[in-house]
Amino acid sequence: MPDRFGDSATAYGYVRTIFDQVARGTRPATVSITPSTRHVGVTRRDTFRPGFEDAVRAAGEMGYPVLVRSSGGGATAADGGTFGFSIIRPSDETESRRGIRERYDEAAAMVLGAFSRLGVMAEVGEVRDEFCPGDHSIRVGDGESGMKVVGIAQRITRRATSVGGIVLVEGEQDLARVLEGVYNAMHLPFRKESVGSLHRAGYQAGTQNAIEAFAAEAEQVYGAVRVSLDENTLGLASSEGEQYVI
């Protein structure tokens, strides 16, 4: 559980560094919970879409740098009212037998467990014309007119797997504006009303309160132990991060 990084590139580098350490066996299976900094995260597939350069320009004009993330899905946006989480495991024999859906189910269960600690009523399911569409989104309300409050994606390699996502606590109006510009530029369906947050849904928990709920859930479910960010990992995160910046 690091503090908020000064820039989004270092935050991306941190997640990559933790993933690589787990893959090499120098770090055990890890639940990472990371406060966000302002950025738009796109996928490699997005970078080949018509209108992508216009999307980058639109995000930049609103003060959002664009980074290419390693997981799948679609474009996301983050700022100080959001945070990310990842469940990272080595690809051992047990993990290799698990399917993609099982990992999605695990991440969704962690979200719902953490939300229950905050009194948040949410469910698993896609929202019409949402950002980063997927049937394991976490929503408040129904699929037609509800709002998305968590997006989930995963990354799978021969040596490690990761499943996690972004949690929207507050500040959804700014996120909706930048996502509207990005999705419109790439000619993808998007409905800005689908961008939700815990605050918009009527819950007053702050970002740090939500982070603490996720940490408590990880401690209960996985027996996780909180560790500080060491200087070596921080240095690697800083050097790794620039490769993700557009």
CATH classification number, 8-244, choose in 3.30.420.140, 1.10.3720.10, 3.40.50.300, 3.30.930.10: 3.30.930.10
Domain locations in the chain? 8-244
Band of the pLDDT at 185, cuts 50, 70, 90?
very high
Q: Per-residue pLDDT for 218 more than 90?
A: yes
The CA-based angle 179-37-191, given to 5 degrees, is: 15
CB 218 within 8 A of CB 30: no
pTM of the predicted model as reported, rounded to 2 decimal places: 0.95
In whole numbers, what is the pLDDT of the chain averaged over residues?
95
pLDDT tens column, 4-22 = 898 999 999 999 999 999 9
Q: Per-residue pLDDT for 161 more than 80?
A: yes
How far is the C-alpha of 170 from the C-alpha of 81, rounded, in Å?
A: 5
Q: What is the DSSP string of the chain?
A: -PPPPSSHHHHHHHHHHHHHHHHHTSS-SEEEEEE--SEEEE-TTGGGSTTHHHHHHHHHHTT--EEE-SS-S--EEE-TTEEEEEEEEE--HHHHHS-HHHHHHHHHHHHHHHHHHHT---EE---TT-SS--TT-EEES-TTT-EEEEEEEEEE-SSEEEEEEEEE-S-HHHHHHHHHHHHHHTT----GGGB--TTTTT----HHHHHHHHHHHHHHHH-----PPPHHHHHHHHHHHGGGB-
Q: Per-residue pLDDT for 160 more than 80?
A: yes
Whole-number pLDDT of residue 169:
99
How far is the C-alpha of 146 from the C-alpha of 148, rounded, in Å?
A: 7
